[in-house]
Amino acid sequence: MAVLDVAICGAGPAGLATALYMLRLGHRPTIFERFDAARPIGSGLVLQPTGQAVLHDLGLLDAIRELGAPLDRLHGADARTGRVVLDVRYDSLPRAGRGLGIHRAALFGVLHNAVLAAGIRVVTEQEVRGLRDAANGKRALIFAGDRLSEAFDLVVDCLGANSPLKTYSAKPGTSRALSFGAIWTTLPWRAEGFEDTALTQRYRRAGVMIGVLPVGRSSPDSAARAAFFWSLKPAEYEALKQAGLDAWKQTVLAHWPEVAPHLDAIADFPDMTLARYAHHTMPNPTGDALAFVGDSAHSASPQLGQGANMALLDARALYLGLRDHPEDMGKALARYAALRRWHVRLYQVLSAMFTPFYQSDSRVLPLIRDVFVSFIARIPPAPQFLAAIVSGSLLAPLKTLELKRPPSV
Ligand SMILES: Cc1cc2nc3c(=O)[nH]c(=O)nc-3n(C[C@H](O)[C@H](O)[C@H](O)COP(=O)(O)OP(=O)(O)OC[C@H]3O[C@@H](n4cnc5c(N)ncnc54)[C@H](O)[C@@H]3O)c2cc1C
């Protein structure tokens, strides 16, 4: 098998995992990242059993579990009536495993340390802007300032949802911005009134959604933290800031008084990050000597908590494609696309379907949600089905990608 020079654009979960897999195949990966030092953006996320299986395969799950917070369920109630409108328990599905709330810095740190320990080259302060064809079917990266990289046998786009390389796909697809996003922050964990093994949410119709997610620690010697989020329309963020932090806190507390200790830790709006969401599914996540992995190939609102997990599954699929077709790049990339096609499409559709029930101006959808969850969702097989959706296991991606179930905790 020829040793390939692989350019991996972006040092998020997709890029770091892909680099480790390329090295496992004996190739020469180089990661290019725009930041001066590779670092994570954002707050916390949920690692589903699918993403944990990939990390287990990479030998990193124990290190991740040492930092994260195990999750048994996702629980949400109506802010006004207290009625439970979401209760998805992982253990409804035999051997589903548990979720893992994790600080982004923890996930990043474990993957990044593994990349550095493996001796993979990471080049920072390189903003990728485009691609250029090079001799012998290779491709070079165009950086900001029109500088060119050396030529690579394969370019893997792991630049996330706003990747400028999407246009180099034969079928880039279109991105649809969602009207709702959220402000997120990470705060010290406050146990009073909160389960430490649950993502807890409060809703008022679909216009208000507040969440507290235990995310464990960002490093072994730091204290336990929680991700806190408030759903809002990015278009209304300026007006919210104009009204002032205290007015916003009063609104939050009117919906959920128990979060007062969490809110005390927020001193100003810059303590929070505004996240905008968009739906995008690339019909074919490949091109000439080019693969799209993670959010560059498919992005969605985080309602189902799948994005980072999908990125990790993609990295594994690209590994299998190249492993099975070492002498034929076209076939290897086609195999990669085929391995991920149906799982990605199903979850993109589910995410698009579920999101407006929790984040929209609709009055009808939250009513349906409230009736469904408080009644039908308790009747088998609905709890099993909901657990299968959330754990990422519909269409058995672990079997498709030759992954073992992560050991239970
Ligand atoms: C608020 C929020 C909550 C979420 N919650 C969850 C959750 O609970 N569970 C879950 O699984 N997922 C969740 N997600 C989604 C998850 O964060 C993404 O799916 C995941 O980070 C995608 O990984 P990625 O590596 O593809 O892209 P990214 O994480 O976006 O990484 C892209 C990398 O590329 C770099 N980069 C970007 N552009 C350039 C450029 N031009 N040149 C060089 N470098 C560049 C960036 O700096 C970054 O390091 C959430 C997302 C958001 C916004």
As a whole number, mean pLDDT of residues 251-270 equals: 96
The atom number, within ligand 1, closest to the CA of 184 reads 1
- Confidence class of residue 191 from pLDDT cuts 50, 70 and 90? confident
318 compared with 372, residue with greater pLDDT: 318
Give me ligand 1 centre to Cα 145, in Å.
Answer: 24
Nearest CA to ligand 1 atom 19: 307
Q: Flag whether 184 is in a domain.
A: no
Q: Flag whether 218 is in a domain.
A: no
Q: How far is CA 93 from the centre of its chain?
A: 22
Residue 395 and residue 207: Cα distance in Å, rounded?
32
- 294 sits in the region (left: phi over 0; alpha: psi -120 to 50; else beta) called left
Question: Residue 71, exposed/middle/buried by CB under 10 A (0-12, 13-18, 19+)?
Answer: buried
Give me ligand 1 centre to Cα 107, in Å.
Answer: 12
Residues 6 or more apart in contact with residue 380 via CB below 8 angstroms:
none
Asked if the model's pLDDT at residue 38 lies above 70, the reply is no
**What pTM was estimated for this model as a whole?**
0.97
- Confidence class of residue 377 from pLDDT cuts 50, 70 and 90? confident
Q: According to the model, what pLDDT value does residue 246 have?
A: 97
Q: How far is CA 384 from the centre of its chain?
A: 23
Question: Residue 192, exposed/middle/buried by CB under 10 A (0-12, 13-18, 19+)?
Answer: exposed
Nearest CA to ligand 1 atom 2: 302
Q: Which sign, positive or negative, has the C-alpha torsion 17, 20, 24, 30?
A: positive
Asked which of 170-174, 232-236, 386-390 is least confident by mean pLDDT, the reply is 170-174
Give me ligand 1 centre to Cα 12, in Å.
Answer: 6
pLDDT in tens, 322-333: 999 999 999 999
Q: According to the model, what pLDDT value does residue 78 have?
A: 95
The atom number, within ligand 1, closest to the CA of 163 reads 38
Give me ligand 1 centre to Cα 242, in Å.
Answer: 29
Give me ligand 1 centre to Cα 314, in Å.
Answer: 14
Asked whether the beta carbons of 319 and 24 are under 8 A apart, the reply is yes
Q: Flag whether 67 is in a domain.
A: yes
- Confidence class of residue 39 from pLDDT cuts 50, 70 and 90? low
Asked whether the beta carbons of 139 and 290 are under 8 A apart, the reply is yes
Residue 141 lies in domain: 5-177+278-400
- Confidence class of residue 34 from pLDDT cuts 50, 70 and 90? very high
Q: What angle (nearest 5°) sits at the alpha carbon of residue 191, between those of residues 187 and 196? A: 95
Tokens describing residue 96? 């589903």
Residue 49 and residue 265: Cα distance in Å, rounded?
31
36 compared with 315, residue with greater pLDDT: 315
Residue 43 and residue 50: Cα distance in Å, rounded?
20
Nearest CA to ligand 1 atom 50: 302
Closest listed residue to residue 18, CA positions, set 362, 400, 237, 285: 285
Whole-number average pLDDT of the chain:
95
Q: According to the model, what pLDDT value does residue 41 have?
A: 67
Asked whether the beta carbons of 313 and 401 are under 8 A apart, the reply is yes
Q: Report the pocket of ligand 1 as residue ranges, CB < 6 Å.
A: 9-15, 32-35, 42, 45-46, 127-128, 158-160, 164, 182, 184, 275, 294-295, 302, 305-309, 311
Nearest CA to ligand 1 atom 46: 10
Give me ligand 1 centre to Cα 259, in Å.
Answer: 27
Asked if the model's pLDDT at residue 371 lies above 70, the reply is yes
Q: Flag whether 88 is in a domain.
A: yes
Tokens describing residue 224? 């336990």
Q: Flag whether 97 is in a domain.
A: yes
Give me ligand 1 centre to Cα 356, in Å.
Answer: 22
pLDDT in tens, 66-95: 999 999 999 999 999 999 999 999 999 988
Q: According to the model, what pLDDT value does residue 32 have?
A: 98
Domain of 160, CATH number, reads 3.50.50.60
The atom number, within ligand 1, closest to the CA of 14 reads 25
* 229 HSE (CA, 13 A, CB side): 29
Q: Flag whether 210 is in a domain.
A: no
Nearest CA to ligand 1 atom 38: 159
Q: Flag whether 323 is in a domain.
A: yes
pLDDT in tens, 106-117: 999 999 999 999
Q: Flag whether 140 is in a domain.
A: yes
As a whole number, mean pLDDT of residues 197-203 equals: 97
Asked if the model's pLDDT at residue 336 lies above 70, the reply is yes
The amino acid sitting at 123 is: V
Asked if the model's pLDDT at residue 299 lies above 80, the reply is yes
Asked which of 202-216, 333-347, 369-383 is least confident by mean pLDDT, the reply is 369-383
Tokens describing residue 260? 């007062």
Residues 6 or more apart in contact with residue 307 via CB below 8 angstroms:
45, 294, 295, 299, 300
37 compared with 401, residue with greater pLDDT: 401
Which 8-state DSSP code applies to residue 284?
S
Q: Report the 10 Å Cβ neighbour count for 252.
A: 20
Long-range contacts of 218-223 (CB under 8 A, 24+ apart): 218/67, 218/103, 218/105, 218/106, 218/109, 218/186, 219/67, 219/105, 219/106, 219/109, 220/66, 220/67, 223/188, 223/189
Residue 345 and residue 85: Cα distance in Å, rounded?
26
Asked if the model's pLDDT at residue 378 lies above 80, the reply is yes
As a whole number, mean pLDDT of residues 264-273 equals: 95
How many independent structural domains does the chain possess? 1
pLDDT in tens, 130-174: 999 999 999 999 999 999 999 999 999 999 999 999 999 989 999
